[in-house]
Chain A
Amino acid sequence: MTAKAKLLALLAFTTAMLFFDNLAVFAVVASGLTAVIALKGHAKLFSSWLKPMVFMFAFIIAIQYVTYPLAPYSFGAVLWGVTISLRIYVIMAAVFFFVRTTSMSRIAEAFSFLPGRLPEAMTIAIAMLPQITELSGKIITSQKARGANFRSLSLTSTYMPVLVPLFGKTLQRSEKMALAMQARGYGD
């Protein structure tokens, strides 16, 4: 399959997943994708992508539990949270699969139909994913070392200490990366 075809397949798949909201469908697709990733020998790397997301999923489920419009504080609310989390999981797994089976230059090629500097931007965004997951792992560890408790879910005491440095660092890093690219003649 060419990179462009793969990218189109990924886009189609992602769009389809956004339209579904059926727990059973997600469960089947999620197990299928996970099995393929494990069979290809990427299980370890994929779990390092996932680790920081576990908190995100827990957070989503907790929020849905409280705010689910049809029936808050019910089992149905929890299921809805699980459904949304699985949707994100499934999309992540598909993106992971795409990135792991396509070389960087092929990915850049696949994006080449986009105008202006978007192809490079997309490529860098994808390239930064593993760095961002690693970084969030580091931040979580260092906040734990300062006694952060990620079992109780609260926005101020759990998520701010992780999300603020994560966004800050990521922003800083992409700024520096842009600078480093210009220092190697990119852009004019």
Chain B
Amino acid sequence: MEIKTESLGFSYPGRSVLKDISIKIKSGDFVGITGSTGSGKTTLAYCLNGLIPHAIKGHMTGSVLVDGKDTRKKSMSELASRAGFVFQDPDWQIFSLSVHDEVAFGLRNLKMKNAEKRIKNALSMVGLDGYADEVPYNLSHGQKQKLCIASVLAMEPDAIILDEPTSQLDYRSMMNIYSILRNLNRAGKTVVVIEHDTDLIAEYAGSVIVIDKGTVVKHGKPSEVLSDKKLLGKLGIKVPEAYR
């Protein structure tokens, strides 16, 4: 699935956040989005899957095209099945009393067939087989994060967008999540991940978008973008080990 933005701009009521963003994410890409706190990464991600303008108040200018079609002209549920979204904090999205029900939620909304089979597959893709009857509340943070990924995967979207999926995880769980993402990407899914840790982007992503104050300052291969010490220094972004 290709996602393209054309001079995209967005303001929350009374606060302009994104300005003139034109990027193209090709089908099968593994894209990392990085930038300092408050630069607009989450807001951009909301635009990519249609939460903006469908579910969030504010003023959007320009356009976002998913496979050539304007997100404004598609319904949120249609977009939800194309690009899944994993929020930063799993406690924001988990509300069911069992792991199974949590994964079933999206399927029920979209009236998808073979629900039980999809749920089983999704849970096994993230290594949560055997957890279907657990209470999500009792899972570890990493397992909750995996559950959120599974609940998106069950809907079999073409793309999956994750907002800082590893920001509260230890090193091992972090690697674990990224190897899941790599496997998904190799299976053909487009992966867009907001990530502060440039080492992870350097290792896993095929391209990187650097955002500052609501605009894209650089978009390209990690080896080109993340080796620009001068730029990264100016923006307060860590130069990855690999390019020091």
Q: How far is the CA of A55 from the CA of B155 in the complex (A)?
A: 44
Q: How far is the CA of A113 from the CA of B97 in the complex (A)?
A: 21
Is there an interface contact between B105 and A184, defined as CB atoms closer than 8 Å? yes
Could you give, for residues 93-111 of chain B, a 1 whenever the CB lies within 8 Å of some chain A CB and a 0 otherwise? 1011110010001100110
Is there an interface contact between A185 and B110, defined as CB atoms closer than 8 Å? yes
Q: How far is the CB of A170 from chain B (nearest CB, A)?
A: 11
Does B91 belong to the interface (CB within 8 Å)?
Answer: yes
Does A51 belong to the interface (CB within 8 Å)?
Answer: no
**Residues of chain B with a CB closer than 8 A to A187's CB:** 76-77, 109
Is there an interface contact between A188 and B92, defined as CB atoms closer than 8 Å? no
Does B87 belong to the interface (CB within 8 Å)?
Answer: yes
Is there an interface contact between A104 and B77, defined as CB atoms closer than 8 Å? no
Does B81 belong to the interface (CB within 8 Å)?
Answer: yes
**Residues of chain B with a CB closer than 8 A to A103's CB:** 97-98, 101
Q: How far is the CB of A48 from chain B (nearest CB, A)?
A: 11
Query: Quick one: closest A residue to B55, CB to CB?
Result: A182
Does B232 belong to the interface (CB within 8 Å)?
Answer: no
Query: Quick one: closest B residue to A125, CB to CB?
Result: B95
Known contacts A104-B97, A127-B97; is-contact A185 B92 (Cβ 8 Å): no
Q: How far is the CA of A107 from the CA of B109 in the complex (A)?
A: 17
Q: Which of B145-199 contact A (CB under 8 A)?
A: 151-152, 155
Q: How far is the CB of A108 from chain B (nearest CB, A)?
A: 9
Is there an interface contact between B84 and A183, defined as CB atoms closer than 8 Å? yes
Q: How far is the CB of B45 from chain A (nearest CB, A)?
A: 10
At the interface, is chain A mostly helix, strand, loop or mixed? helix
Q: How far is the CB of B97 from chain A (nearest CB, A)?
A: 4
Is there an interface contact between B92 and A184, defined as CB atoms closer than 8 Å? no
Of listed B54, B95, B105, residue having the most chain A CB within 10 A: B95
Q: How far is the CA of A162 from the CA of B84 in the complex (A)?
A: 35
Which of B75, B97, B106 is in CB contact (< 8 Å) with A188? B75
**Residues of chain A with a CB closer than 8 A to B243's CB:** none
Q: How far is the CB of B207 from chain A (nearest CB, A)?
A: 24
Does B51 belong to the interface (CB within 8 Å)?
Answer: yes
Q: How far is the CB of A99 from chain B (nearest CB, A)?
A: 8
Does A180 belong to the interface (CB within 8 Å)?
Answer: yes
Is there an interface contact between B109 and A184, defined as CB atoms closer than 8 Å? yes
**Residues of chain B with a CB closer than 8 A to A183's CB:** 49, 51, 55, 76, 80, 84-85, 87
Known contacts A182-B54, A184-B109; is-contact A177 B93 (Cβ 8 Å): yes
Q: Which of A121-176 contact B (CB under 8 A)?
A: 123-124, 127-128, 130-131, 173, 176
Q: How far is the CB of A133 from chain B (nearest CB, A)?
A: 11
Q: How far is the CA of A180 from the CA of B152 in the complex (A)?
A: 10
**Residues of chain B with a CB closer than 8 A to A179's CB:** 51, 55-56, 87, 92
Is there an interface contact between A185 and B155, defined as CB atoms closer than 8 Å? yes
Is there an interface contact between B87 and A185, defined as CB atoms closer than 8 Å? no
Does B12 belong to the interface (CB within 8 Å)?
Answer: no
Is there an interface contact between A185 and B106, defined as CB atoms closer than 8 Å? yes
Is there an interface contact between A104 and B92, defined as CB atoms closer than 8 Å? no
Does A186 belong to the interface (CB within 8 Å)?
Answer: yes
Which of B56, B97, B109 is in CB contact (< 8 Å) with A186? B109
A-B CB contact pairs (8 Å), 11 listed: A103-B101, A104-B98, A131-B137, A176-B87, A176-B89, A180-B87, A182-B51, A182-B54, A182-B76, A182-B80, A186-B105
Q: A residues bordering B, Cβ < 8 Å? A: 99, 103-105, 107, 123-124, 127-128, 130-131, 173, 176-188
Other A-B pairs beyond A184-B152, A188-B75, A188-B76, 18, CB < 8 Å: A104-B97, A107-B97, A123-B95, A127-B97, A130-B137, A131-B137, A176-B89, A177-B93, A178-B55, A182-B76, A183-B51, A183-B80, A183-B87, A184-B80, A185-B81, A186-B77, A186-B106, A187-B77
